[in-house]
Amino acid sequence: MMKHGSTDQSIIIFSTGPRSFALSIDHIIEIINPIEVKKVPLAPASVDGVINVRDTIYPVINLSSFFNLDSIEENNDEERMILVKYQDTIFAIHVSRIETLTSYTSSQLIGDEDHQDDYTLGVIQYGDKVSAGLLALQPIIDSLKQEAFSKATS
């Protein structure tokens, strides 16, 4: 975790549905064009299924569903999948579009009541009146694991 006043942290900002999010590039393996998603029985509602990238299977998280937002416009030219690694977990995030690559310092990370939840660390302002929620990956992963466990045991 960054300390107040620390050096710049590089992030990618992307949109999913009507909302923008930010993710540290330290967690990004690669960004790919959308590929076929195979459905998985008993998967959490926010998991679209799995993809096969170079003979490795990854779950696909749909943040629009996770955050109860309008769904992603399918088949748009800007749609992407971001392969993410957080600790020992690797997954893909399905996004509407990649907005920008930028950097911020911890002093630029602010709380925002309109976007306050357990799954973002705060909001980063970029551009004119545009903000992106910095994703808190561990709570998202924990929530999806708990939902998967509940579905499997019920």
Residue 128 in domain? yes
Total domains in the fold of the chain: 1
Kindly report, residue by residue over 38-56, the tens digit of the pLDDT: 999 888 889 999 999 999 9
Q: Does 72 map to a domain?
A: yes
Q: Provide the residue range defining the domain that includes 48.
A: 9-146
3-state secondary structure of 114: helix
Bridge partner list, 96:
none
Displacement of CA 25 from its chain's centroid (Å): 12
Domain-located, residue 4:
no
Is residue 28 in a domain? yes
Kindly report the backbone phi and psi dihedral angles of residue 111, in degrees, each rounded to the nearest multiple of 5, phi listed first: -80, 150
Let me know if residue 42 belongs to a domain. Answer: yes
The predicted structure's pLDDT at residue 30:
97
Residue 152 lies in a domain: no
Task: Please measure the distance between the N-terminal and C-terminal CA atoms of the chain and give it in whole angstroms.
Answer: 36
Beta sheet of 89-95, edge-to-edge order = 28-32, 80-86, 89-95, 56-62, 47-53
**Residue 1 belongs to a domain:** no
pLDDT in tens, 131-143: 899 999 999 999 9
Across all residues in the chain, what is the average pLDDT?
A: 86
From CA 104, how far away is CA 125, in angstroms rounded? 9
Residue 128 to residue 8: CA distance in whole angstroms: 20
Top mean-pLDDT range of 15-29, 67-81, 95-109: 15-29
Structural tokens at position 8 = 């710049």
Euclidean distance between CA atoms 104 and 89, whole angstroms: 25
pLDDT of residue 11: 94
- For residue 129, is pLDDT > 70? no
- Residue that the structure tokens 């900002």 belong to: 13
Q: Which helix (H) or strand (E) holds 90?
A: strand 89-95
pTM for the model: 0.85
Which CATH number covers residue 68?
2.40.50.180
Q: Is residue 96 part of a domain?
A: yes
